[in-house]
Amino acid sequence: MQPDYKNWVPKGMAYGLAAGTAALAAGTAVLWSKSIIARTVFGVGTTACGAFAAWSFAARQAFSFEDAGSLSRRIVEGTAERVAVPEGGACLDVGCGSGALSIAVAKRNPGAQVVGVDLWGPEYASFSQELCESNAVAEGVSNTSFKPGDARSLPFADESFDAVTSNFVYHNITGANKQALLRETLRVLRKGGSFAIHDLMGPARYGDMQAFVKSLRAEGYERVELIPTDNGLFMDKGEATLMMLTGSMLLVGVK
């Protein structure tokens, strides 16, 4: 049995764009000698659709878990490396999706329990609690559990976990203040517990993150660091730009 971590870029979208490009190209050929305006419109459409199709196939490759060196694996494994859970402790993965990060953390911390939560909404219909559980079985991991949970209001008491983590989740939650989401995740972290949260943390989404880091330090957090991951750590700048991941950062530290 093989795990299936799915892909952030649906296969249907990539192949649909390829088919659309072919249809537009055929239309351009038919109209080439009949109408300058029509062939121009179809030509521009073909070029744009083709470019998006090419990007979609490149992104599917980058975000595939089948390749050990893929961008997705580098990001998940790189984030998991920074999650330290004490023996007998518990870690929370917020927005666990298909369970990839939860399982990676569980493998690195076999003496701890890892809990993954997600809403698994209709916009990500291929992801589910059952998929996470199936992937854990396929990976031979028994120290994980998965349940529904909303990052805006986590179903846990204050200081319930020894570590918290998340990967590329909060930027997808429209209408929510991103720093407030970070606060909600850190709420359930015990004093002395560690955190490693990875997301697109540019100022347009997150506001002034340097000020946020300073506020945590002022509140008594033992260590807080903001580490760019789009400059060679998880991906180089060209790869980040191509995959629209510029501004990727890790917020790590100890409460």
176 part of a folded domain = yes
Residue type, 47: T
Q: Same domain for 123 and 239?
A: yes
Q: Same domain for 44 and 164?
A: no
Please state the domain count of the chain.
2
pTM of the model: 0.88
Q: Same domain for 239 and 129?
A: yes
3 part of a folded domain = no
Tokens representing residue 95 in the block: 């927005």
Give the angle subtended at the CA of 73 by the CAs of 69 and 77, to the nearest 5°: 115
Buried b / exposed e along 100-132 (16+ C-beta atoms within 10 A): bbbbbbbbbbeebbbbbbbebeeebeebbbebb
Closest CA relative to residue 201, chosen from 212, 192, 189: 212
Determine which helix (DSSP H) or strand (DSSP E) holds 192, and give its type and residue range: strand 189-200
Instruction: State residue 185's pLDDT score.
Output: 98
Rounded Cα gap, residues 187 and 201, in angstroms: 19
The arrangement of strands across the sheet holding 144-148 comes to 144-148, 113-118, 90-94, 161-167, 189-200, 248-254, 223-228
Instruction: State residue 186's pLDDT score.
Output: 98
119 part of a folded domain = yes
Determine which helix (DSSP H) or strand (DSSP E) holds 130, and give its type and residue range: helix 129-138
Query: How far lies 139's CA from each of 4, 64, 112, 218, in Å?
Result: 10, 17, 16, 41
Burial of residue 208 (number of CB atoms within 10 Å: 0-12, 13-18, 19+): exposed
Q: How is residue 170 annotated by DSSP?
A: G
pLDDT beneath 50: ranges in the chain: none
Instruction: State residue 52's pLDDT score.
Output: 64
2 part of a folded domain = no
- DSSP, collapsed to helix, strand or coil, labels residue 97 as coil
Rounded Cα gap, residues 239 and 251, in angstroms: 21
Query: How far lies 156's CA from each of 80, 160, 187, in Å?
Result: 22, 7, 9
Instruction: State residue 45's pLDDT score.
Output: 59
1 part of a folded domain = no
Q: Which domain holds residue 173?
A: 71-254
Residue 161: which CATH number? Answer: 3.40.50.150
185 part of a folded domain = yes
Instruction: State residue 253's pLDDT score.
Output: 98
Model confidence pLDDT, tens digit, residues 46-77: 677 666 667 667 667 778 888 888 999 999 99
